[in-house]
Amino acid sequence: MLDTTIRHDWTRAEVAALFDLPFNELLHRAHQVHRALHDPNAVQVSTLLSIKTGGCPEDCAYCPQAARYDTGVAAQKLMEIDEVMERARAAKAAGASRFCMGAAWRGPKDRDIPKVAAIVSAVKSLGLETCATLGMLGDGHAQALKDAGLDYYNHNIDTAPEFYGEIIHTREYQDRLGTLEQVRDAGLKTCCGGIVGMGETRDQRAGLLQALANLPAHPQSVPINQLVPVPGTPLANADRLDPFEFVRAIAVARLLMPASVIRLSAGRQQMDDAVQALCFFAGAGSIFYGEKLLTTGNPDVAADRALFRRLNLHPMEVVEHAGTVHADIMQTDDAVAGQAGCGQGCGCSTAA
């Protein structure tokens, strides 16, 4: 029976039982929920730019931006507003409807907030949705960003609570929850997900999705990342997750958070087109578009356009007060050529 009830009381056993369903049964259930609440042929398209790359003091085991790992990512300072605007205009011209900006900080300092707020306001003035991922927020930061025109704040919980200590030692799970609370309290939309394929068990994958679904409000956007192992990081040699297990994670996320937009995030470059198609069927309704995520690769623009055509997918429109943004990635080659990719060889694999 089709059930689209929004719940926040999922037990681990219930979530684990969904993971254990026969694959076709799980996908059937997930797709039913997906098409009941979402256009199954529409995909929201975001572009991600690293506005402050590398040199991060945190120790996230998957991240090439952590200063302590020798990954070849050089630390840079916060980009100038003109440079960000140039990238945002190009992303819009290439068809993105949301512009996500990532900074490799433990969290912004008070003095960083006015600079980021000015960038957010400028990008917003282009008619793009705005998202930022800056790390842990201090008092008043979320509200200042909201006042500047920020739509979404990304802050991932990364993995199951009991596996978190295996991956990150420089902050606590509770720190993440505290920032998410600030984001909700400021009236920002929440983008919050995690990473699979870091050596966790299936039960721990269930724990990640259970924790997301049992937040006080479901994140509007739920990025599900597949680890991209980066040489020099502690997870450089992590075993590759079975692609069908990744599809299961998308489907279970769809069932647990029926109204949220599930984003197929980092790791797409490592997936073949058939796996991506299964993810869209299972409930993924958003992608990053552009040649780079933060430092790791993303399928190139031409490949995404071809995939959309082959699957008859169309980009989701975003209605903003400034007008309707037509996230049309099916543009002429000239328009797409001007996009010049997202980011500049920077950033972590999983920021959003």
Q: Binding site for [4Fe-4S] cluster: residue ranges?
A: 56, 60, 63
In whole angstroms, give the CA distance from residue 32 to residue 24. 12
Question: How long is the chain?
Answer: 352
**60 part of the active site:** yes
Rounded to the nearest whole angstrom, what is the least distance from the CB of residue 295 to ligand SF4 in the complex?
9
Cβ distance to ligand SF4 smaller for residue 33 or 211: 211
State yes or no: is 192 an active-site residue. no
CA distances from 257 to 8, 39, 265, 272, 337 (A): 9, 16, 17, 26, 36
Considering 98, 131, 305, 342, which one is annotated as catalytic?
Answer: 131
- Known binding-site residues for [2Fe-2S] cluster equal 100, 131, 191, 263
What kind and span of H or E run contains 195?
Answer: strand 194-196
CB of 317 to ligand SF4, least distance (A): 31
* Residue whose CB is less far from ligand SF4, 117 or 352: 352
Which CB, 182 or 276, lies closer to ligand SF4?
A: 182
**CA pair distance 201, 253, nearest whole angstrom:** 16
Q: Which residues are annotated as a binding site?
A: 56, 60, 63, 100, 131, 191, 263
3-state secondary structure 85-110: HHHHHHHHHCCCCEEEEEECCCCCCC
Burial of residue 76, with CB atoms counted within 10 A of its CB: 0-12 exposed, 13-18 middle, 19 or more buried: middle
Which helix H or strand E contains 14, and what residues bound it?
helix 12-19
- Nearer to ligand SF4 by Cβ, of 60 and 132: the residue is 60
Is-catalytic flag, 56?
Answer: yes
For helices 141-148 and 112-124, the axis angle rounded to 10 degrees is 30
Q: Which of 56, 192, 279, 346 is catalytic?
A: 56
Q: CA 179, CA 171: separation in Å to the nearest integer? A: 12
**Minimum distance from CB of 59 to ligand SF4 (Å)?**
7
DSSP of 96-153, one letter per residue? -SEEEEEE--SS--TTHHHHHHHHHHHHHTTT-EEEEE-SS--TTHHHHHHHHT--EE
- Give the span between the Cα atoms of 116 and 86, in whole angstroms: 16
Cα separation, 128 vs 126, in Å, equals 6
Q: Which residues bind ligand SF4 (CB under 6 A)?
A: 56, 58, 60, 63, 65-66, 104, 135, 348
Find the catalytic residue in 29, 254, 263, 268.
Answer: 263
| Residue 346 annotated as catalytic | no
Supply the minimum distance, in Å, between the C-beta of residue 348 and ligand SF4: 4
Report the nearest approach of ligand SF4 to the CB of residue 194 (Å).
12
Quickly list DSSP for 309-334. HHTT-EEPPEEETTEEE-------HH
Catalytic residue among 176, 191, 305, 348: 191
User: Which lies closer to ligand SF4 via its Cβ, residue 39 or residue 70?
Assistant: 70
Nearer to ligand SF4, 51 or 256 (CB): 51
CB of 16 to ligand SF4, least distance (A): 27
Q: DSSP readout, 235-259?
A: TTTPPPPPHHHHHHHHHHHHHHSTT
Let me know if 342 is a catalytic residue.
no
Tell me the catalytic residues. 56, 60, 63, 100, 131, 191, 263
